[in-house]
Structure 1
């Protein structure tokens, strides 16, 4: 009988993304509340050097990102895949004006999804971004989060490109329907 080492804990991928955003001098983070981004949102709110803004709808984040750039700052938009459909028209601003753009998107409608309403937009998210000229990266493994976030930020801000990083639903975990009685 051999004794094996206990499995190592999963990397703290929200912290790795936050550190990459800090290294890229991101000063504004906007979001529609989402449990998948909750740790990253808390990190931003706890950092006095980052202005964290709650949005009422995702397309406001595209306008905020463009305005931040015009004002000399870098911004990032956090959203869920279900919100990407709300942004399609506004994404045209990015290519028309050559604004850099960076978004991290928690995916729904994939692995172990319980809500059938999430499946359609989950399937269409990457294509919707690509049709609108946004380069898409897909983050599947927690240990790749820091490196991918840094590469996405460099490409967005140094090359004036719109970039979306899709965070696989499996990394976030399966959501469960709960009833309160």
Structure 2
């Protein structure tokens, strides 16, 4: 195990393990530090295609198209991106596609950027309003089980599920001055 792998929290490794063992073939994302371990792991895995998005709502279409093509796909996004997706979420319920997303939260614990606050406070409500079941991980010990349970609900039961990864779980973000 390299020194980089040893520094990665176990819960982040568990997320990638759930995706890999669950047969995910595509991961769509807008780059985000909170998802960086999963993104790096996906890029390094020749069996999983990484799909870099310009905006999160494209990801709803990407994962839906993957399902139509016989593949499992997951959308990684930050809470601020949920607001960009609300209209596209109607595709999921209209077509009854399974859907699984992992959302890193902003606008809560020790947030320094006031721009992140409004959507961070409404992320769960916006997802639920669009018929998406929300699970929330606040403790590192919860992550693996919640991600696995949400993944199974999506791909075994055909549900639409979001797992919110709390800002306290991810850690404080600070502006860096150089």
What is the TM-score of this pair, normalised by structure 1? 0.92
Describe the superposition over 1:13-50 as per-residue Cα deviations: whole angstroms up to 9, x where unpaired. Answer: 11101001111111110100101111110011111110
Contact 2:109 2:172 (8 Å CA) reproduced:
yes
Contact 2:29 2:52 (8 Å CA) reproduced:
yes
Larger radius of gyration: 1
Q: Which runs of 5+ in 1 are unaligned?
A: 1-8
Give distance in 2, aligned partners of 1:143 and 1:16.
10
Contact 1:10 1:142 (8 Å CA) reproduced:
no
Give distance in 1, aligned partners of 2:22 and 2:37.
19
Describe the superposition over 1:63-118 as per-residue Cα deviations: whole angstroms up to 9, x where unpaired. Answer: 00000000000000000000000000000000000000000000000000000110
* Corresponding residue of 2:171: 173
Moved over 6 A (4+): none
* Corresponding residue of 1:48: 46
Q: Pick the aligned partner of 2:57 from 56, 59, 63.
A: 59
The number of residues matched between the two structures is 172
Deviation at 1:10, TM superposition (A): 8.6
* Corresponding residue of 1:122: 120
* Corresponding residue of 1:88: 86
The structure with more helix, counted as a fraction of residues = 2
* Corresponding residue of 1:6: none
Give distance in 2, aligned partners of 1:45 and 1:145.
22
